[in-house]
A and B are shown apart, each in its own frame.
Chain A
Amino acid sequence: MAHDSLYAAPPTVEAEPGAGRLATLRGLLGSWDAAVVAALVVVVLVAGLTVENFATGRNAQFLLLDLVPLALIALPMTLIVITGEIDLSVASMVGLCSTLMGQLWLSSGLSLELICVLVVLLGAVLGAVNGLFVTGFGLPSLAVTIGTLALYRGLSFVVLGDQAVADFPADWTAAVVRNIPGTSIPVVLVPLLLLALVFGVVLHATPAGRALYAMGNNDQAATFTGVSVARTKFWLFVVSGAVCGLVGIFWTLRYASARGDNATGLELTVVTAVLLGGVSIFGGRGALLGVLAGVLLLGVLRNALQLADVDANALTIVTGTLLIASVVLPNAVADIRARLHRRRQRQPVAS
């Protein structure tokens, strides 16, 4: 589980005297990943045994389909959060891409294939705007993307107003919810897993991936090691936008409806899943496997609680509590470990 820890810290920091504490952190990181995976297994087992209708193929299909947008956006979000930034405009980009897809289909006469390509490109442009503000003008990504969260959502209502476009061809809308023949696993899981593989390899097995952790730990130190911080971050935002374009297409076709309020509020669920998966909100640590486990854990919990007739407000409370726990717990444990470590170091001196 802790394979990422090899790359977790940039060389410059490793040489500093605080390396002991970092080692503890990295140990903890591994255990957090393992804890999330273990929690996932426990929740699946408990739900399978106690919640009626949970352990069926049809339910697996429903559950996985609901998770696809979340998992897709979580991929670039993981990388962005690891560099110490955040992109809160993702759900609004999905909404805007969805309405533009609807508007293009309604009035442009272009083929749907071309529209899909245009929508992904458009997503990339929206992401580039975020990236430009963050890296070009050096503004904090939190502020920038809260701004574009509102801006893009507003624009998506400008594109279609309170109307919806719904007359997409039936074979397209059926295709996105179709299962792999003979199974109850949706076909869209294949491109999702391929993308996850690409992101995983880039993050954990390339110098570029290592550079992301370096940036998250210390921007300036990373610059001195020859990493182009601004350029990398810019492209991460572009990728995030392009993935949101993909999700916009998926969302529109799955619900056969392009409308301005599509995916509202999704950004919070994505951030929750990423943090739950063990990525530090302060940047510098986290692993993709943990995030995927976090996405699944969140989805399985929601699905099982819904099947058990737990009401919507309780679901929201559960999500909120998980988010707080995933931020507070690793920090608290790290703090305690660091204190123990210091005491152990001090003891020989005292005696």
Chain B
Amino acid sequence: MSAYRRGLRVGATSLTLAALLLSAACGGTTRDNSGNDAAGGDSQASGAANPDAAIKEGLKIAFLPKQLNNPYFTVSDNGGKDAVTEIKGEFKEVGPSEASASSQVSYINTLSQQGMDVIVTSANDPNAICGALNQAKAAGAKIVTFDSDTKPECRQIFVNQVTAEGIAENQVKLISQQIGGEGEIAILSATANATNQNAWIALMKDELKKPEYSKIKLVTVAYGNDDDQKSFQETQGLLQSYPNLKGIISPTTVGVAAAGRYLSGSQYKGKVKLTGLGTPNQMRQYVKDGTVDAFALWSPADLGYLAAYAGAALASGQITGAEGDRFKAGKLGEFTVGKEGVVVLGPPTVFDKNNIDQFQF
């Protein structure tokens, strides 16, 4: 046993010594002196765009979603497939079975090895796949991100589903239409520190200051933590605390579905209006039974479709990803590249009982 102790002591001492020696020997790279030239990537818009260039045929366009077998990405990738078929290109969808950045890197390497013309991806980590994307770019591929962006210098175009302003405007307009332009409303959000939710809520408050919404009063913001049970209980709590409540906005798919479930089984069904961001499959029954008049979300299929066209336009030399470049995206019409290579799909799609059956996702 004493030998055991001695071994431990010798081991620990030598490790510590080694550590001290090493750290003393090296001058040291610290956070302050490392210079942090993170913007080392080449400028995203190089060369000149030729807006009249025709879309090339036979472009090899690969979709690399966050993960395979995720219904949202299956729909958006199929939208991309439709676009690639229209422009007579070769479509391919690959991806990891778990949403991790490191496995995406291995797929990006494979795609660049296969000589893809365009890689369309949704990043699991804004930084981790950057190195691989830059290598693929150097090998001649054009990079388009959609849904979740990387650092801007790692791709040419980011196709954003919707702007925060677009969401705020849309949500306030929907609830105002449904409650007849006056009364108390509440917001059912996800978690209290969710970045995008808070940005949307702040913009909704600004939107409510407009004169046409002066009779609408936002009484509270509740947090359902994107948990079905909690969102359900929070909805119940809202209705008990605010008897005059006319409407609820829930800009999260979990929240709006849970609130719909509570309302449809309660005395408030149809009297207290509900809108938000939800998927047609989750909300269908509440729209059909009259609980919900209308709600919104972007169309994932259009998102993939637009991303594929953006990639094709890049690979054909129509655009370079510079601000102000314009390109045509088939049935969706013309788009302009904004600041930092961002293309916005447009205002969210509104679903109501007339159109909901056309959407399956």
Q: Which residue of chain A has the shortest Cβ distance to B24 in the bound complex?
A: A114
From known contacts A169-B34, A173-B131, infer whether A313 and B29 are also in contact, taking CB-CB under 8 Å: no
Q: In whole angstroms, what is the CA distance A169 to B11 when docked?
A: 32
From known contacts A263-B102, A312-B97, infer whether A255 and B113 are also in contact, taking CB-CB under 8 Å: no
Inter-chain contacts of A199 with B (CB < 8 A) = none
User: Looking at the complex, which of B104-112, B178-186, B311-319, B346-354 is the stretch in contact with chain A?
Assistant: B104-112
In this assembly, does B19 line the interface, its C-beta being within 8 Å of a C-beta of chain A? Answer: yes
Q: In whole angstroms, what is the CA distance A103 to B172 when docked?
A: 40
What's the minimum C-beta distance from B110 to chain A, rounded to whole angstroms?
5
Give the contacts of B86-111 with A (CB-CB under 8 A): 92, 94-98, 100-102, 105-107, 109-110
Flag A139-177 by CB within 8 Å of B: 1 or 0 each: 000000000000000000000000010111110110001
Inter-chain contacts of A313 with B (CB < 8 A) = 68-69, 97
Inter-chain contacts of A231 with B (CB < 8 A) = 3-4, 7
Q: In whole angstroms, what is the CA distance A135 to B3 when docked?
A: 15
Inter-chain contacts of A118 with B (CB < 8 A) = 19
Determine which of B95, B127, B139 lies in contact with A164 in the assembled complex, contact meaning CB atoms within 8 Å.
B127
Inter-chain contacts of B35 with A (CB < 8 A) = 169
CB <8 Å contact, B113 and A311 = no
Inter-chain contacts of A303 with B (CB < 8 A) = 110
CB <8 Å contact, A53 and B11 = no
Q: In whole angstroms, what is the CA distance A319 to B110 when docked?
A: 19
Best-surrounded residue of A113, A230, A251, A313 (most CB of chain B within 10 A): A113
CB <8 Å contact, B113 and A113 = no
What's the minimum C-beta distance from B150 to chain A, rounded to whole angstroms?
11
Where chain B touches its partner, the secondary structure class is: loop
Flag A40-72 by CB within 8 Å of B: 1 or 0 each: 000000000000110010110010001000000
Inter-chain contacts of A81 with B (CB < 8 A) = none
Q: In whole angstroms, what is the CA distance A166 to B131 when docked?
A: 12
CB <8 Å contact, A169 and B29 = yes
In this assembly, does A259 line the interface, its C-beta being within 8 Å of a C-beta of chain B? Answer: yes
Q: In whole angstroms, what is the CA distance A112 to B23 when docked?
A: 9
CB <8 Å contact, A121 and B127 = no
Inter-chain contacts of A66 with B (CB < 8 A) = 106, 109
In this assembly, does A257 line the interface, its C-beta being within 8 Å of a C-beta of chain B? Answer: yes
What's the minimum C-beta distance from B117 to chain A, rounded to whole angstroms?
15
Inter-chain contacts of A295 with B (CB < 8 A) = none
Inter-chain contacts of A228 with B (CB < 8 A) = 3-4
What's the minimum C-beta distance from B119 to chain A, rounded to whole angstroms?
14
Determine which of A59, A230, A255 lies in contact with B101 in the assembled complex, contact meaning CB atoms within 8 Å.
A255
From known contacts A117-B23, A167-B38, A172-B29, infer whether A124 and B15 are also in contact, taking CB-CB under 8 Å: yes
Q: In whole angstroms, what is the CA distance A110 to B31 when docked?
A: 8
Give the contacts of A216-270 with B (CB-CB under 8 A): 228, 230-231, 235, 238, 251, 254-257, 259, 261-265
Q: In whole angstroms, what is the CA distance A62 to B40 when docked?
A: 22
Determine which of B15, B27, B31, B37 lies in contact with A121 in the assembled complex, contact meaning CB atoms within 8 Å.
B15
From known contacts A112-B28, A170-B38, A256-B131, infer whether A59 and B113 are also in contact, taking CB-CB under 8 Å: yes
In this assembly, does A111 line the interface, its C-beta being within 8 Å of a C-beta of chain B? Answer: yes
Flag B59-95 by CB within 8 Å of A: 1 or 0 each: 0000000001100000000000000000000001011
CB <8 Å contact, A109 and B30 = yes
Inter-chain contacts of A170 with B (CB < 8 A) = 37-38, 40
Q: Which residue of chain B has the shortest Cβ distance to A266 in the bound complex?
A: B102
In this assembly, does A206 line the interface, its C-beta being within 8 Å of a C-beta of chain B? Answer: no
CB <8 Å contact, B107 and A306 = yes
In this assembly, does A105 line the interface, its C-beta being within 8 Å of a C-beta of chain B? Answer: yes
Q: In whole angstroms, what is the CA distance A238 to B7 when docked?
A: 13
CB <8 Å contact, B127 and A109 = no
Inter-chain contacts of B48 with A (CB < 8 A) = none
What's the minimum C-beta distance from B253 to chain A, rounded to whole angstroms?
18
In this assembly, does B267 line the interface, its C-beta being within 8 Å of a C-beta of chain A? Answer: no
Inter-chain contacts of B126 with A (CB < 8 A) = 164, 166
Q: In whole angstroms, what is the CA distance A261 to B127 when docked?
A: 14
Q: Which residue of chain A has the shortest Cβ distance to B110 in the bound complex?
A: A306
Determine which of A53, A62, A166, A251 lies in contact with B127 in the assembled complex, contact meaning CB atoms within 8 Å.
A166
Give the contacts of B1-53 with A (CB-CB under 8 A): 3-4, 7, 11, 15, 18-19, 22-23, 26-32, 34-38, 40
In this assembly, does B125 line the interface, its C-beta being within 8 Å of a C-beta of chain A? Answer: yes
Q: Which residue of chain A has the shortest Cβ distance to B129 in the bound complex?
A: A255
Determine which of B28, B92, B127 lies in contact with A255 in the assembled complex, contact meaning CB atoms within 8 Å.
B127
Q: List 28 A-B contacts (CB under 8 A).
A: A52-B114, A62-B109, A109-B30, A111-B29, A111-B30, A112-B34, A114-B26, A117-B18, A117-B19, A117-B23, A118-B19, A121-B19, A164-B127, A167-B31, A170-B40, A228-B3, A228-B4, A231-B3, A231-B4, A235-B7, A235-B11, A255-B105, A255-B128, A257-B128, A259-B128, A306-B106, A312-B96, A313-B68
Q: Can you add 10 more A-B contacts, CB < 8 Å, to A111-B30, A265-B98, A312-B94?
A: A58-B139, A66-B109, A114-B19, A114-B26, A164-B125, A164-B128, A166-B126, A228-B3, A255-B128, A256-B131
Binding site for B on A (CB under 8 A): 52-53, 56, 58-59, 62, 66, 105-106, 109-114, 117-118, 121, 124, 164, 166-170, 172-173, 177, 228, 230-231, 235, 238, 251, 254-257, 259, 261-265, 303, 306-307, 309, 311-313, 316
By Cβ-Cβ distance, the 9 closest A-B pairs, closest first, are A111-B28, A166-B127, A169-B34, A255-B128, A257-B128, A113-B26, A114-B23, A62-B109, A312-B97
